Structures are given as C-alpha cells and as structure tokens.
Amino acid sequence: MSLELALGIARSGLAAVQRNLSQASQNVANAETPGYTRKTVAQQSLVVEELPAGLRSGETQRAVDAALLGRLDQSRGALAATTVREELLQGIEQAHGAAGDGATLGDAVAALANAFTGLRASPADAGQQRAALGAAGTIASRLNEVSAAIGAARQQAQDGILAEVTAANAALRQIASLTIQIKSGAAGDTAGLEDQRDQAIATLAESIKVQATRKPGGHLLLVARGGIVLPLDPARDVLATGPASVSPDSYHGAGGTLPGVTLGGIDITGQLAGGRLGEYIALRDRTLPRYQAETDLVAVALANRFDQEGLRLFTDSDGASVPDATLAYAGSTQIGFAGRIRLSAAVSADPSLLRNGTHAVTPTPGGPDGFLPNPPGGPAGFTTLLDRVLNYALGSEAATGNPWPTISSVGLGPDGSLASPFVPAGAIADYASSVTTAQLGDRAAATEAKRQASSLHAALETRFTATSGVDIDAEMAGMVTLQNAYAANARVLGTVQSMWEALLGSVR
C-alpha cells in the first residue's frame, strides 16, 4: 500500500467520523423534539483494484419501522375518535341522571306512578293532586333536558365535522408540500423533511382513518377507508363541507338539509370512518338521531296513553294537541316531541282534573274502554280515571286483554333509517328505563373503548420510541467510539507524515 493511498484512507476516515459525530450531536440535541427520529449516516467501504480505498458517506437514514409507524397512526385515530365519543355522550348522561340516583326517565315515570297511587288513596286531597302534578312536571322537564342535551351534542358533532375537514385539508396541503420537497431533494435534509411529513400524517390520522404508503423517491400514497385515494395538492383544499344548524328533523342524505363531506364534488360521507371526523359523522347521523327518536317515543307514548284513557296531562307546544302515535316516526310530528312536551295548561290550572279526567273516551276495538269524566259536583272519591291511569296508562295494556301497540324499534331517525338496539317493553316505565340503560351504556362503552385505545397507543408509542427514538446513553457511547476512531485516523495521518518527512530527509 502506498503512502498516498494510506493518507487517502485516513482522510476519508476522518471525514466519516466527523459527519457521524455531527449526526450524533444532532440526535442528542433533538432527543426531546416531537416527531424526531434517530438518524444514521450510511457508510460504504471503497475498493479500488482489490485494494482498500477508504470510506464513502451516503445519505442520512432514518431508523423507522414503517409498519409500526402505520399501526401507531391508526391508534392515534382510534384514541381521538373514542375521546370525542366519550365527551359528547357525557353531556347526555348528565341530562339523564346517573342510574341508581333515582332521577332517570324510568325513575321519573315510576315516581309518577307512586304519586297517582297516593292520589288514588285520597282522590279529593289537594296536596296529593299537587304532588301528582309535580311528578308529571318532573317527567316533562327531564324529557326537555335530555332532548336539549341530545340536540346540543348533535350540533357539536356538526361543528366538529366542519373543524375536522378544515384540519384535514391543512394537513393534506402540508403533506403535499413536504412530498414535493422530498422528491426534489433540493433541501438536502430529506430525512428531516420525512420526519415533518410523518408528523403531518399523524395529525391527519387523528382526523380521518388513512393508510400511508411510502414509495421510493419520496412518493407517497394516502388511502382513506373504502379505497378513497386522497390527492395531494399544496394549492387547494381536497375535502369540502359546510356549516349547518341542526334540528331534530335534520339529516344528511337525499332530501336532508345537513351537508356531507365531498371529494372532488362527490359525497363520500358514508365512506369516512375512524378519527374525529368519522366519529363526528357517526354521532351526527346515526347515534344521536337514534337517541332523539327513542326519547321522543317515550314522550309520545306517555302523552298518548294518558290521553287515550281520558286525561290529557301532556301536550305539544301548542298547548292542545298530542302527536299521533299510530304514524311512522319519520316525517311525523313525533320528531322532537321530547323537547316540546309540556304539562297541560288546563290541568295545571285545575289539578282536580287529575281525578276527574279531561275528556270522554269512546271505546275502540282492541283499544281502551269507554270513559266519562267525573261531572262538576260529582263524587269527591271518584277513582275511575285513577284506576285507568294506574292499570292501563302506566301499564302494558290499553284495557284488559288489549295490549298497547308496540313502541317502534325500527324506522327511527328523521329519515327512518335507524333502529334501537333493544326490544321495546310494553309498559312506559320499562321502555323509559330501556332507553336510559341503552344510552348510558353507550357512554360507558365509549369510556372503556377510550381506555383500551389509550393503552394500545401508549404501548405502540413506547415501542416506536424504543426502535426509532433517540437513546442519549447509546448516542454518547457511540460518540466515544467515534472519538477513538478519530484518534486512530489521526495517528495514521501522523505516521504517514513522519514517513514522508523521513523519505524526504533521505533524499536531501
């Protein structure tokens, strides 16, 4: 080996050590920077005519497991979705009242039955009449509150859709811009740009479930659920939607008034799932409209069953009518009735009507028996109406041997496309309890799903950090090794220099 070749090898070694030391220092400096991954410098041994010719330093490489990174992004989306679901359902749970505290819809109906039982024992007692009226008012207020909470949550979901579309568009523009820079290689530090792009993809994954496929040359393919390819354009928004005010009869779809999410003018709302955007859509279009319908049906059944037994205790907001319970829910005045139900003004002004009745009932085949109200000056101990309320209005039959029509569990929602997850009970108190149990159960399930998603995300993040993050101790140990290598190459240079001087001295 010639002295010149030895000198070249030592010089390339020093350059390689210097670049690796610089990269190690950068790793240590950015150890706590979010999204930063450990970088290494590729080294290649050079051989010329079967003789070693030193080292060549390649491009900076990232220590990233693409499959693990994809799973981590999916866990981010799942955690974001379950967090949104839990937050929105908590407000509805608070309106319902916790199971066991005696304040749920089922509890309120049971309390009304107890109040009528007390009134049955003393029909002329004004105090018992006021107690029954108060129990009825409690039910109406609780139905109003639950309906309002559902409406507020649904509006939050609509507003959330708009916010997440904006966030997703911003992330897609950033990803597109970074991809162009990575592909061009003009910035030099493509590894750092790839870190930034991964951070942008992570942000996008919290909004919408997406699979990122990284290809050679910096190319990237983003695919949402259903095989939807998301185009990358730094100059325009890819997704579009619009604001809306949500009411109980609002829905998305043919004939509906709620905006969808479009891609290139094509509605892809039904294909979006995962992340906050997918969860907001599910809440706005499926979960919360079902809640509204179930709560409305509690109110409709309650008002109708009392009315059909001869006591118009509850009315619509006009103070006179009651929605027709025989109609299909979709398109009827039953929609939103839980938010409009109120105590009859006539009964509120004259609580003795709770004993006497408000109107006559004509007997119907398969329905209630006939009824005539207690006339003015009638017996103070009149109990005919109270027996009808306790035995029938609050029971499972309209009259002996005539069960009430089954409360619908299908055809729910303003477009009639939804269904309850339970079989409706015959008695109104049991149905109200089923509604409360199902809706509070969804909140509990959301909390458990969030706990599991959080645990999985933490485990994946720990694993990713272990494989792709910066271990300061390992970096410092590596720097010591590099310093030793630097010293060894420096000694080679010193030795070559001494040999050159000796050679020059021998020819002088």
The verdict on 148 and 256 lying in the same domain is yes
- Assigned domain for 465 exists: no
**How confident is the model at residue 85, as a pLDDT?**
97
The verdict on 82 and 55 lying in the same domain is no
Spatial neighbors of 369 by CB under 8 A, at least 6 apart, are: 361, 363, 399
Tell me how far apart the alpha carbons of residues 383 and 374 are, in angstroms, rounded to a whole number.
Answer: 9
Instruction: Identify the band that residue 226 occupies on the pLDDT scale cut at 50, 70 and 90.
Output: confident
Tell me how far apart the alpha carbons of residues 401 and 58 are, in angstroms, rounded to a whole number.
Answer: 88
- Assigned domain for 119 exists: yes
- Assigned domain for 384 exists: yes
**How confident is the model at residue 24, as a pLDDT?**
65
The verdict on 58 and 173 lying in the same domain is no
What pLDDT, in 10s, does the model give residues 448-503? 999 999 999 999 988 988 887 665 656 566 555 656 555 655 565 556 566 655 66
What pLDDT, in 10s, does the model give residues 124-169? 999 999 999 999 999 999 999 999 999 999 999 999 999 999 999 9
3-state secondary structure of 381: coil
**How confident is the model at residue 194, as a pLDDT?**
87
How many domains does the chain contain in total? 2
- Do 384 and 374 contact (CB within 8 A), yes or no? yes
397: β partners: 403
The verdict on 59 and 74 lying in the same domain is no
Tell me how far apart the alpha carbons of residues 301 and 403 are, in angstroms, rounded to a whole number.
Answer: 13
The verdict on 394 and 335 lying in the same domain is yes
The verdict on 217 and 366 lying in the same domain is yes
The verdict on 265 and 360 lying in the same domain is yes
- Assigned domain for 466 exists: no
Q: Among the residues of 97-189, which ranges form H helices? A: 105-121, 126-184
The verdict on 337 and 373 lying in the same domain is yes
Which amino acid, one-letter code, is at 322? Answer: V
- Assigned domain for 95 exists: yes
Spatial neighbors of 296 by CB under 8 A, at least 6 apart, are: 147, 248, 329, 334, 335, 336, 337, 338
Tell me how far apart the alpha carbons of residues 4 and 332 are, in angstroms, rounded to a whole number.
Answer: 95
The verdict on 263 and 396 lying in the same domain is yes
pLDDT at 22 over 70: no
Give the range of the structural domain holding residue 408, as residue numbers without chain letter: 70-455
The verdict on 118 and 258 lying in the same domain is yes
User: What pTM does this model have?
Assistant: 0.86
203: tokens are 């942000």
- Assigned domain for 309 exists: yes
3-state secondary structure of 220: strand
The verdict on 246 and 314 lying in the same domain is yes
The verdict on 359 and 415 lying in the same domain is yes
Q: Write b or e for each residue in 207-243: b if 16 or more Cβ atoms lie within 10 A of its Cβ, otherwise e.
A: bbbbebebeeebebebebbeeeebebeeeeebbebee
3-state secondary structure of 472: helix
**How confident is the model at residue 62, as a pLDDT?**
73
What is the DSSP secondary-structure string of 234-279? Answer: TTS-SEE-------TT--SSTT--S---EETTEE-GGG--SHHHHH
Spatial neighbors of 459 by CB under 8 A, at least 6 apart, are: none
Helix axes 66-96, 428-468, angle to 10 degrees: 150
Tell me how far apart the alpha carbons of residues 303 and 326 are, in angstroms, rounded to a whole number.
Answer: 13
- Assigned domain for 331 exists: yes
- Assigned domain for 387 exists: yes
